[in-house]
């Protein structure tokens, strides 16, 4: 399966879990920091992709890259990604950030057939059409 399709699925699952737990802002910030870490430290990608490095060390590196005190959901997400040998989907943070962007002017006014992928448009209480 295409790595892009997989990373989108992981990103959507993370976004849904974060939204359900009402911690989407914290997880969004953590994913932004992770994306920033990947950009600022290009060796991080190669290190995480290295099959010789233990999963514990990869987890510690990713949690450090996320920031000072990652949420329990982010920790669980990283553990799941590593457990399933899906380190290659770690660009999921980019997908998450893309899907979780705050609404822009072109998102509004929302219509019943609006199909925005932005976080605020996914919140049922915000959407006039029940979240669709």
The number of beta carbons lying within 10 Å of the beta carbon of residue 122 is: 19
**Per-residue pLDDT at 108 exceeds 80:** no
Structure tokens, 29:
């910030």
Same domain, residue pair 84 and 114: no
What phi and psi values does residue 71 have, to the nearest 5 degrees? -65, 160
Based on the fold, state whether residues 86 and 112 are members of the same structural domain. no
Tell me which DSSP letter residue 53 carries.
S
CB atoms within 10 A of CB 61: 17
| pLDDT above 50 (res 9) | yes
Residue 90 has pLDDT above 70, yes or no: yes
Residue found by looking up tokens 């910030």 in the block: 29
The verdict on 11 and 58 lying in the same domain is: yes
| Predicted local confidence at residue 59, as pLDDT | 96
Chain segment 23-72, per-residue pLDDT in tens: 988 998 898 898 888 888 889 888 998 999 999 999 999 999 998 899 99
Domain region containing 33 = 3-100
Nearest CA-CA partner of 34 in 81, 99, 85, 94: 94
**86 and 29 in a common domain:** yes
- What pTM did the predictor assign? 0.69
Q: What is the arithmetic mean of pLDDT over 8-29?
A: 88
32 and 95 both lie in a single domain: yes
């Amino acid at each position: 399966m295409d790595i892009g399709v997989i990373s989108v699925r992981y990103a959507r699952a993370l976004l849904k879990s974060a939204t359900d737990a009402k911690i989407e802002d914290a997880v969004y910030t953590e994913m932004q920091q992770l994306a920033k870490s990947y950009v600022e430290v290009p060796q991080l990608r190669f290190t995480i992709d290295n099959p010789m490095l233990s999963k514990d060390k990869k987890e510690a590196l990713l949690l450090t890259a996320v920031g000072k005190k990652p949420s329990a959901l982010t920790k669980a997400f990283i553990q799941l990604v590593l457990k399933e040998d899906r380190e290659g989907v770690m660009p999921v943070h980019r997908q998450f950030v893309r899907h979780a962007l705050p609404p822009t002017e072109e998102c509004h006014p929302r219509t019943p057939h609006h199909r925005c992928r932005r976080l605020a448009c996914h919140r049922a209480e915000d959407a006039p059409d029940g979240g669709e």
